Amino acid sequence: MDNNLIHVLEPSGPPESDVLDRNLRAIRQQGFEVDYTPCSADAKTRLEIQGIEIRLGALQSALDSNSRYLLSARGGYGASELLSRLDWDALTKEVPRVLIGFSDISALQSALYARLKWPSLHAPMPGSSLWQGGEDVRALLDLLRSDRPWTGSIDLAPVSNTPELKCQGRLFGGCLSVLSNLVGTPNLPSDLSGHILFFEDTGESAPRLLRYWRQWLDSGLLKGVSAVVFGRFTEMGSMTEADSWAVTELAARTPCPVFSSRDFGHVTPNLPLAIGAQAEIRHDQLLWNLDL
């Protein structure tokens, strides 16, 4: 398994081609070998059965590749269409890969964790204009070139009244709307007790966010959760300060300590968070470590 090789794939929507080409050149200049074959399907075809098969073949090829790191070019829509078509029995015999991305990629990351306990990184994607070479991209590339265990941190602010205690647990989360659509399927863990959860989203109104959260509450998925961290909720519409208002209302409904962070989401910076890592919250920071 080649830890210096990054396999770039397109399991969801099409990347911004000029942006992707420029960012892949920059990654190669950092000393990484990049394996990338563009998806042959356009945006519309990707949503059709033919396009699903094309994307599925590319994903299966990536999971069979010699690369430890699979970097999604971009999110969009379509990853959840692939989950029931993957050969999960065959994947149990594979060496774990680290899938990197966020947004729609949360569906794949969740399924890999729920079914196989594979770790992944909620982190920037090079086919999006959000990849700007800032501190989040530097942190991601530093992780990929570093020895294990990996470590990372984000700054937090308490939202709910929390006792002075350390919250500890496995780290899991991603895009709230994408993960909510997996509730009740084998592609989302059925028991998240002992976990620290993190969520972010974009383009969702406050009422829709509250509806998603009601599903998490009523399904029992928050039972035994150590803490919840809400990142950025962007492009929410015309409500004044909708982001902070929504987080306050989500926290008011949540039966465990709740924190907010400006360090991740469909924004820059979008600092890496490792799904499956051991994490703890102390001194207004979430600290995580992952021993691959």
Which of these ranges, 1-10, 31-40, 120-129, 179-188, has the smallest mean pLDDT? 1-10
- Strands in the chain per DSSP E: 2-9, 33-36, 67-72, 98-101, 120-122, 150-155, 157-158, 167-175, 195-202, 227-234, 258-260, 273-275, 278-282, 285-290
Give every CB contact of residue 128 below 8 A, 6+ residues apart in sequence. 15, 16, 19, 74, 75
Express as a percent the part of the chain with pLDDT over 90.
89
pLDDT band per the 50, 70, 90 thresholds, residue 236: confident
Where do the domains of the chain lie, and which CATH numbers do they carry? 2-146 (3.40.50.10740), 151-290 (3.50.30.60)
* Average predicted confidence (pLDDT) for the chain: 94
What is the per-residue pLDDT across 243-274, written as a single tens digit (0 to 9) for each?
889 999 999 999 999 999 999 999 999 999 99
Residue 38 has pLDDT above 80, yes or no: yes
Distance between CA 74 and CA 124 in Å, rounded? 9
Looking at residue 17, its pLDDT comes to 83
Looking at residue 163, its pLDDT comes to 62
Looking at residue 243, its pLDDT comes to 85
Looking at residue 283, its pLDDT comes to 86
Looking at residue 178, its pLDDT comes to 98
Distance between CA 20 and CA 13 in Å, rounded? 13
The DSSP H or E segment spanning 208 is helix 206-218
Residue 236 sits at φ, ψ, to 5 deg, of -95, 0
Is pTM, for the whole model, over 0.85?
yes
- What single-letter DSSP state applies at residue 79? G
